[in-house]
Structure 1
């Protein structure tokens, strides 16, 4: 398990270096990094999945510690980033995502949960997977929103530096943002439905904050998507709503787990 974790960590970092080097080059066409990065990331995903598998096996089932959950979330992010990068090689999200994934692997080893919770009801597996997948999409959407905000600000100031010129047009970046938001919203909706089906006592199961904050986040993203369709919301409005919804969701998932596992244990 430790070997798989270390190999995945190194592969993610190597991929990040290749992508950053390719992005900052004056002539990116001189080096075709798509194939080696693709191979490296596929290998990293396999080793990362192996680490997750043995973690679950050693725990005798689903181990839902904070950084184990974060590791699983970032695995999904790395997979999504690989697929998005194939379509948008000039704005490969792996430049930001892969270092984040590597960090999650390091945190998982260095800061293990004191008493990691396990899955009480096997049927909740679908709820966990849907929720983590939704969180992955929204985290990518938050990263996309920050890049979009910087790109739009420099465009309005008519001062776009050389690196930002390499990004796709603003409309393409904005379209990608709402694709991520739509996918995440659908998964979050399904995650909330499957989760509420198995809730017996919100207080006894320590689910009050998580449930309330998740519903608030759902309302924020629903309002944003509705505003996009009804009023054509875009630009800074979309960025602010995206980041607000993500912060609420971050508090719901990671914030509540951190409090329960590290502050109240």
Structure 2
């Protein structure tokens, strides 16, 4: 089995990060909120160090698992900021669980070597795409929190998700959808107009493959969600369902396509 990192430092960082995520994922309630938050912060720091170590390596690799890993880290970054503004927001165990899975996947499936190109647009193109993934992941997390809060209100089990007002969660969700939509639009524009310059080959420019088809479909879904919110007042479960559909299409766009290529077909492109 080829691991993402054969170096002792990389393996140690991966093991420490996965363990740090697993602790609050499995025992958040037993630990208490403050202790779980501190351990999750340690895991987030270790995760960031691991990402930097892998990307700055002599032979960096990237694939579907690495994209998921960065997406989870970005979602945790958003949560770390929001938890300072809304201490009542509680999604630690779920985010920690996703973090554990992402670290393990990234270690087992190392991806493929990054293409050699002199274009400075390639890192920008990838950064825009991954940032869009992170914003939509944060939106999905807020949609899940909003749905759970609504269910708790209906059953009168709690007044809401950790005391965070339902309208606040909804407003935050749409803000992340809007930010993700802008980033995804820029990613598509870069791929459409600068594909040849980014990848250095006409064959790797814009073409209608599975990745781009699913990505455009997700863009259209998110556009419909934002227009529906603006013109038709979409909210609640309807808005969350559309968000989930768009996120699933976006996930199939890169992560799904790369998973099929790397794992099922054993190809690099």
Short-chain TM bin = 0.7 to 0.9
Q: How many pairs were matched up?
A: 250
Q: How does 1:254-265 map to 2 (within 5 A)?
A: 254-265=255-266
Q: Which residue of 1 aligns with 2:110?
A: 112
State the TM-score, normalizing by the size of structure 2: 0.81
Structure 1, gaps ≥5 residues long:
23-30
Q: How does 1:113-262 map to 2 (within 5 A)?
A: 113=111, 116-121=112-117, 122=119, 123-155=121-153, 158-162=154-158, 164=160, 166-200=162-196, 201=202, 208-262=209-263
C-alpha contact (below 8 Å) 2:18/2:103 kept by paired residues: yes
State the TM-score, normalizing by the size of structure 1: 0.82
Q: Which residue of 2 aligns with 1:6?
A: 15
How far apart are the structure 2 equivalents of 1:78 and 1:87? 14
> Cα deviation per residue 1:126-182 (whole Å; 9 max; x = unaligned)?
111111111112122223223323433454xx4132495634222112112112211
How far apart are the structure 1 equivalents of 2:157 and 2:101? 29
> Cα deviation per residue 1:196-252 (whole Å; 9 max; x = unaligned)?
233244678886211121111111111111221122110122111101101100100
C-alpha contact (below 8 Å) 2:229/2:235 kept by paired residues: yes
Segment drifting more, 246-255 vs 168-177: 168-177
Q: Which residue of 1 aligns with 2:6?
A: none
Q: Which residue of 2 aligns with 1:27?
A: none
User: After TM superposition, what 4+ stretches of structure 1 lie above 6 angstroms from structure 2?
Assistant: 202-207
C-alpha contact (below 8 Å) 2:71/2:137 kept by paired residues: no
C-alpha contact (below 8 Å) 1:2/1:51 kept by paired residues: no
Judged with a 3 Å threshold, the aligned counterparts in structure 2 of structure 1 residues 42 and 32 are, in CA distance, closer, same or farther, namely closer
Judged with a 3 Å threshold, the aligned counterparts in structure 2 of structure 1 residues 181 and 93 are, in CA distance, closer, same or farther, namely farther
C-alpha contact (below 8 Å) 1:124/1:195 kept by paired residues: no
Judged with a 3 Å threshold, the aligned counterparts in structure 2 of structure 1 residues 231 and 12 are, in CA distance, closer, same or farther, namely same
How far apart are the structure 1 equivalents of 2:37 and 2:144? 25
> Offset of 1:17 from its aligned partner?
5.6
Q: Which residue of 1 aligns with 2:50?
A: 51
Structure 2, gaps ≥5 residues long:
1-9, 197-201
How far apart are the structure 2 equivalents of 1:247 and 1:202? 27
How far apart are the structure 2 equivalents of 1:20 and 1:90? 14
C-alpha contact (below 8 Å) 1:124/1:198 kept by paired residues: no
Judged with a 3 Å threshold, the aligned counterparts in structure 2 of structure 1 residues 137 and 21 are, in CA distance, closer, same or farther, namely farther
Judged with a 3 Å threshold, the aligned counterparts in structure 2 of structure 1 residues 87 and 207 are, in CA distance, closer, same or farther, namely farther
Judged with a 3 Å threshold, the aligned counterparts in structure 2 of structure 1 residues 188 and 108 are, in CA distance, closer, same or farther, namely same
Which secondary structure does the structure 2 equivalent of 1:44 belong to? helix
> Offset of 1:7 from its aligned partner?
1.8
